[in-house]
Amino acid sequence: MNRQPLLERRAVALRMEFVDLFPDPIVPSVGGNIVLAPATKFPELLDSPAKSVPATITPFPDLFDIIFAPTEISDAFGALFVGVALLLGPDFLLAPAGLVSDEGIRPGYALEAVIGDLIEPDAQWLKDRKEKLATSAPIAVKAIILTLFIAAGLLVERILLVALEDSSFVISLGICSCIGGGLLDVIREPLPTREERDTLRGSQTSFSSSPTSASSRAAAATRPRSCAPSAPSTRAIGSAT
């Protein structure tokens, strides 16, 4: 048997080579067509300019020009929402801290009584309002107050525009304030009406003037402590014995 070729094959040393399958430069092609990127001047664009130009500082807007600027549609919407928010008051901001009283801080509600005293001082709803009863102001009074607060809302909207510099932000702030104040008025504890108060007083008067209640109160006042009724458990034990 001839072993010489086998020995020669064993004598050959193994080796490993790295073959770059994508040698530089890579020329991409699609369907046999070479695709080349357009020429660019990217490094030259990063060069600093020959002359430096100082930065232009935007001057602070003039408060007088903004407040007395011509009214636009956005100003009308902003004045409406901000005015209604001023009418409802800031109670929705104080409610999370527990600083809201029963009457609350409601400029529109308080101004209704002032305007009502000037227009019709002897009105029944004013008497109910002074007695802290549930009542509603006439539409004429509410229209006057709403007009006053919309005018005040226009002034506040212009002042907020100086700080926020965008009418959309002012309108959003007014809408959020209207939602908060409106929800707080909805969940506020309602006042009793005059009929409800008279009914409650009548029931209390009839109870206090009844002879049964009067005699029972007199007996309870003159009864000595030793004659006080015992506990139910003691009476039950005594009756059992």
Quickly list DSSP for 8-25: HHHHSPP------SSPSS
Residue 148 is predicted with a pLDDT of 94
Cβ atoms of 150 and 66 within 8 Å: the answer is no
pLDDT bin (cut points 50, 70, 90) of residue 232 is very low
pLDDT range class, residue 171, cuts 50, 70, 90? very high
Determine the pLDDT at residue 234. Answer: 43
Note the pLDDT of residue 201. 75
Q: pLDDT category, 194, cuts 50, 70, 90? A: confident
112-151 confidence digits (pLDDT tens): 989 988 888 888 888 888 888 888 889 999 999 999 999 9
SS3 33: strand
Q: Do you find a cis peptide bond into 59, omega within 30 degrees of 0?
A: no
- Give the per-residue pLDDT at 17: 79
- State the pTM of this model: 0.56
Select, from the ranges 10-24, 100-114, 134-148, 205-219, the one with the highest average predicted confidence (pLDDT): 134-148
3-class SS of residue 37: coil
The Cα 84–Cα 107 span in angstroms is 10
Q: Is 90 helix (H, G, I), strand (E, B) or coil?
A: coil
pLDDT tens figures, 45-95: 676 667 777 777 777 767 777 777 888 888 899 999 999 999 999 988 888
Q: Identify the three-state secondary structure at position 235.
A: helix
Statement: residue 179 has pLDDT above 60: yes
Confidence (pLDDT) at 3 = 54
Res 51: pLDDT:
75
Confidence of residue 196 (pLDDT cuts 50, 70, 90): confident
Quote the radius of gyration of the chain (alpha carbons, Å): 44
Calpha distance 149→168 (Å, rounded): 20
